[in-house]
Structure 1
Amino acid sequence: MTYTPLQVCKSNALVEASYRLSVAEQRIILACISQIRRDQQITDEVLYSVSATEIAGLTGTRSKTTYEELAKAAQRLKRREVRLFEEPNGRGRKPRVMVTGWVQTIVYIEEEGRVELRFTKDMLPYLSELTEQFTRYALADVAKMTSAYAIRLYELLIQWRGTGERVIEVDWLRDALQLEGRYSNIRDLKRWVLEPAVAQVNEFSPLWVTWDQRKTGRRVTHIVFSFGEKPNSKPTLPKPSQRAERVAPKLSLPKAYVEQHKGADEGLVEADQRLLFEIRTGRREPPPGKSV
Structure 2
Amino acid sequence: MEIITKKYPYNNYKDNERTVCSLKEIEKRKIVEHNDLITSVAKMDKVPLKIFELAVSCIDTEKPLEDNTVYLSKTELFAFFKVDDSNKHSRFKEAITTLHQQSVFEVREMNDHRNKFEYQVISPLEKTTWNDYSDIISITFTKSIMPYLIELKEKFTQYALSDIMELNSKYSIILYKWLSMNYNQYEHYSVKGGRRAEQVETYRNPSIKMSELRTLTDTVNEYKRSDHFEIWILKKPLEEINAHTHFNVTYEKIKKGRSIDSIVFHIEKKRMADDNSYKLGDKDYQEDKARKAETEDMLTLQALKSPYTKLLMEHFLLSYLDLTDTKILSGLQAHVYPLYDELKDLRGLNGVKDHLSYVRAKREDYSKKNITKYLKKAIEQYLPTVKRQDL
Q: Over aligned residue pairs, what C-alpha RMSD do you find?
A: 2.5
Determine the structure 1 residue equivalent to 2:31: 8
Report how many aligned residue pairs link the two structures.
Answer: 232
Determine the structure 2 residue equivalent to 1:24: 47
- 1:160 aligned partner, one-letter code: N
Structure 2 CA distance for partners of 1:208 and 1:234, relative to 1, 3 Å:
farther
Structure 2 CA distance for partners of 1:229 and 1:191, relative to 1, 3 Å:
same
Q: Tell me, in whole angstroms, the C-alpha distance in 1 between the residues paired with 2:88 and 2:213.
A: 29
Q: Tell me, in whole angstroms, the C-alpha distance in 2 between the residues paired with 1:218 and 1:196.
A: 24
Determine the structure 1 residue equivalent to 2:190: none
Q: Is the 8 A contact 1:208 1:228 kept in 2?
A: yes
Structure 1 residue 38 and structure 2 residue 61: aligned? yes
Q: Tell me, in whole angstroms, the C-alpha distance in 2 between the residues paired with 1:127 and 1:170.
A: 28
- 2:120 aligned partner, one-letter code: M
Q: Deviations over 1:4-43 (max 9, x none)?
A: 7111000000000012322211221111101112244446
Determine the structure 2 residue equivalent to 1:239: none
Q: Tell me, in whole angstroms, the C-alpha distance in 2 between the residues paired with 1:6 and 1:46.
A: 19
Which one has a bigger Cα radius of gyration? 2
Unmatched 5+ residue regions in structure 2?
3-24, 187-202, 276-391
Alignment partner of 1:232 out of 272, 285, 289: 272
Structure 1 residue 81 and structure 2 residue 115: aligned? no
TM-superposed deviation, 1:180:
4.4
TM-superposed deviation, 1:175:
1.3
Determine the structure 1 residue equivalent to 2:351: none
User: Higher helix share goes to which structure?
Assistant: 2
TM-superposed deviation, 1:232:
2.2
Q: Tell me, in whole angstroms, the C-alpha distance in 1 between the residues paired with 2:85 and 2:50.
A: 14
Q: Structure 2 length normalisation: TM-score?
A: 0.54
Structure 1 residue 152 and structure 2 residue 192: aligned? no
Q: Tell me, in whole angstroms, the C-alpha distance in 2 between the residues paired with 1:233 and 1:227.
A: 19
Determine the structure 1 residue equivalent to 2:297: none
Q: How does 1:250-265 map to 2 (within 5 A)?
A: none
Q: Structure 1 length normalisation: TM-score?
A: 0.71
TM-superposed deviation, 1:233:
5.8
- Higher RCO structure, 1 or 2 (CA under 8 Å, sep 6+): 1
Q: Tell me, in whole angstroms, the C-alpha distance in 2 between the residues paired with 1:64 and 1:6.
A: 29
- Give me the identity figure in percent: 22
Q: Is the 8 A contact 1:52 1:63 kept in 2?
A: no
Q: Tell me, in whole angstroms, the C-alpha distance in 1 between the residues paired with 2:85 and 2:266.
A: 36
Q: Tell me, in whole angstroms, the C-alpha distance in 1 between the residues paired with 2:44 and 2:274.
A: 27
Structure 1 residue 125 and structure 2 residue 156: aligned? no
Determine the structure 1 residue equivalent to 2:91: 69
Structure 2 CA distance for partners of 1:65 and 1:197, relative to 1, 3 Å:
farther
Unmatched 5+ residue regions in structure 1?
236-292
TM-superposed deviation, 1:127:
0.3
TM-superposed deviation, 1:222:
0.8
Structure 2 CA distance for partners of 1:93 and 1:219, relative to 1, 3 Å:
closer
Q: Tell me, in whole angstroms, the C-alpha distance in 2 between the residues paired with 1:37 and 1:205.
A: 23
